Amino acid sequence: MPEQLSRKQVELILRRTAELEQREETALDGLTPQDLERVADELGMSKVALHQALAESRAGVLAPEEERTLADRFFGRGIIEARRFVPGNAQYVRAAVDHFLQEQGFQLKRNLGHAQIWEAGRDWWTRMRRAFRAGAYRLPRDVEIEVCVTDVPGGPQPVLVALRVDAMRARATRVGAATASVIAGTAVVAAGALMLPMPVEIFAVAGGGLAGLGGTWLSRSSYRDERERLSVAVERFLDFLEHEPPPAPSQPARDPITRLVDFLSREWWR
């Protein structure tokens, strides 16, 4: 009977194989997409998934995952990334993304050529439009969104939309609140230990510890809930682009702004 390997064993073996291969600087140089297809076929991987990964690599949106910090492990990552191949052409898809962000009260911060960075508008008119626009959900104001829309030959669909949401400021606010809770709880514990008689001291120490832990847990839960809502909202918008793409120039259709307002009026973010 042939040897059977578990999924974990396969992952460890492949990881170790890659480490050994990297000892030779040129070990992986010169590989072609056809070589990768043969490797994927031998490992039982989907060719469709490989073609999508190759297309994303050609578009420059693949990057190694950064090492997780303590804040990443406890609160969750501060960066949310989502990408999708969608129908249409880059011009109309980019217009739909721009309208979506403008409806959410965002404005262009930087144009990098290959990508654009958006931030929440600070002027009073943008804030008024954001407050009274259609729909119940609004993207948080303390995030920045990097948008890359590009034509990618060879992908499952002709246009790749990559969104990178920087929620580091939103997380930093929660981390600050958690730190304040710990400091306050520690102060209560120290004051109880130094100034109060037994058994009151025990209650003060317990209360301070619970206050610190409770505040930290609430801050963690608050950020994780917001991050989850934000992640779902981004994915649902990509669903909209994928299944209700902007029309080609030769096809008459409704005004794209009207379509987007209708979309935002629904509970698109749930």
Tell me, what's the pLDDT at 266? 63
Residues 13 and 107 in one domain: no
Contact between 227 and 169 under an 8 Å Cβ cutoff? The reply is no
Q: Which residues contact 101 (CB under 8 A, 6 or more apart)?
A: 118, 145, 147
From 4-8, 63-67, 71-75, 266-270, the region with the lowest mean pLDDT: 266-270
Residues 101 and 35 in one domain: no
Tokens 């992640």 belong to residue = 231
Q: 86 lies in a domain?
A: yes
Residues 11 and 89 in one domain: no
Domain coverage including residue 22: 7-51
Residues 132 and 239 in one domain: yes
Residue bearing the bigger pLDDT, 214 or 256: 214
Q: 225 lies in a domain?
A: yes
Residues 43 and 98 in one domain: no
Read off the pLDDT of residues 73-86 as tens digits, 9 standing for 90 and up: 888 899 999 988 88
Residue bearing the bigger pLDDT, 21 or 242: 242
Read off the pLDDT of residues 235-245 as tens digits, 9 standing for 90 and up: 989 998 888 75
High-pLDDT (> 70) share of the chain, %? 56
Read off the pLDDT of residues 153-212 as tens digits, 9 standing for 90 and up: 776 788 889 999 999 999 999 888 888 877 776 766 566 555 655 565 554 555 556 666
Residues 18 and 114 in one domain: no
Tell me, what's the pLDDT at 163? 94
Q: 253 lies in a domain?
A: yes
Tell me, what's the pLDDT at 231? 92
Residues 12 and 120 in one domain: no
Residues 154 and 253 in one domain: yes
Q: Give yes or no for residue 131 having a pLDDT over 70.
A: no
Q: Give yes or no for residue 112 having a pLDDT over 80.
A: yes
Q: 214 lies in a domain?
A: no
Q: 240 lies in a domain?
A: yes
Residues 134 and 233 in one domain: yes
As for how many domains the chain has, the answer is 2
Q: 250 lies in a domain?
A: yes
Residue 92 sits in a domain of what CATH number?
A: 3.30.310
Contact between 230 and 104 under an 8 Å Cβ cutoff? The reply is no
Q: 124 lies in a domain?
A: yes
Residues 116 and 231 in one domain: yes
Residues 44 and 159 in one domain: no
Q: How do 106-111 and 116-120 pair as beta strands?
A: antiparallel
Q: Give yes or no for residue 52 having a pLDDT over 80.
A: no
Residues 166 and 253 in one domain: yes
Q: 81 lies in a domain?
A: yes
